[in-house]
Amino acid sequence: MKRIVTIQDVSCVGKCSLTVALPIISAMGVETAIIPTAVLSTHTMFKGFTFRDLTSDIEPIMEHWKKEGFKFDAIYTGYLGSFEQIELMHRLIREFRGPETKVIVDPCMADNGKLYPGFTPEFAKAMAGLCAEADIIVPNLTEASFMLGIPYVGSGYDEAYIKGLLKQLAGLGAKQVVLKGIEFKTNQESLVGVARKIGIASYNAENGRISWYFHRKMKISFHGTGDIFASVLTGALVRGLSLEKAYALAGDFVVESIKKTISHENYNTYGVDFESAFPMLVRRLASEARLAKYS
Ligand code: PXL
């Protein structure tokens, strides 16, 4: 069985970071080792959350793992709580990356034009440094802007702008960029009944290829969907899917999870019911992983 390690916080209630990465990647048939970076009572969109920093545990865990000789098919970093943790991730990647290991960095720290509580533009620069180590980075538009130190443009941009962003992001050093949350304004938008689309642009710095994937934009957005996206992407890549198939599956699973959530009258507002969408994930992964094996 393939094995990955994911490094992010435990938000005890909130359906994000490790409480989504662990069940999702496991359900995708991949062993999921974890390093928790912090324990919070909830994610940071709740008021009054507790926060216990676990930075001092990370080094001893790595030392023990080195002695045991553990290897990983992928290293996936998510929400990191301090500069020191970013430094430790540089070390972890150096020490545990093998020739076939995929390194996925989700620079999880901002959305909708704003940094999450506790983060600063300097932190975004340090995260940009970690992106240099990655095979694949998965920022949203806000994270991309903070890492590049450019103003956030939330709407009204065109294809040329996104292509420029992709290339600048690749300039941070990652081989492939998957940029999330892209929405183009079209004339059709003013027509009643035309579903709006949101999607992904990806750039392969090794062959210069740019590709796109759009899906229906749901009326409501939820916390934790970025973590769900990155988790499915990681699981799918390790199961042998191409990057294009992996981000399409990840995007579709997020949409399915939101649909399941809002199908209930009194739905949770702090996170999505990804659990109810598992049958779709497992079914599609099984058929696509089978196809990938023979392609
Ligand atoms: O889903 C991203 C995330 C992860 N971890 C913590 C968060 C957030 C988003 O707010 O607060 C602690």
68 CA distance to ligand 1 middle (Å): 31
Atom of ligand 1 at shortest range from CA of 223: 1
Overall pTM > 0.75: yes
45 CA distance to ligand 1 middle (Å): 8
Query: If residue 264 lies in a helix (H) or strand (E), which one and from where to where?
Result: none
Per-residue pLDDT of the chain (295 residues; tens, 9 = 90+): 999 999 999 999 999 999 999 999 999 999 999 999 999 999 999 999 999 999 999 999 999 999 999 999 999 999 999 999 999 999 999 999 999 999 999 999 999 999 999 999 999 999 999 999 999 999 999 999 999 999 999 999 999 999 999 999 999 999 999 999 999 976 555 555 556 889 999 999 999 999 999 988 888 899 999 999 999 999 999 999 999 999 999 999 999 999 999 999 999 899 999 999 999 999 999 999 888 888 7
Give the pLDDT confidence of 82-98 residue by residue, as tens digits. Answer: 999 999 999 999 999 99
CA nearest to 96, candidates 73, 78, 77, 79: 73
* Ligand 1 atom 2: residue of nearest CA: 224
Q: Which of 7, 8, 17 to mutate to test the pocket of ligand 1 (most atoms within 8 A of CB)?
A: 17
Taking CB atoms and a 6 Å cutoff, what residues make up the pocket around ligand 1? 9, 11, 16-17, 40, 43-45, 79, 108, 116, 223-224, 226-227
53 CA distance to ligand 1 middle (Å): 14
The dihedral built from the CA positions of residue 205, 206, 210 and 212, taken in this order, carries a sign that is negative
- Tokens 């324990």, residue located: 39
- Tokens 């533009």, residue located: 121
Report which DSSP code applies to 178: E
Superfamily of domain 3-289: Ribokinase (3.40.1190.20)
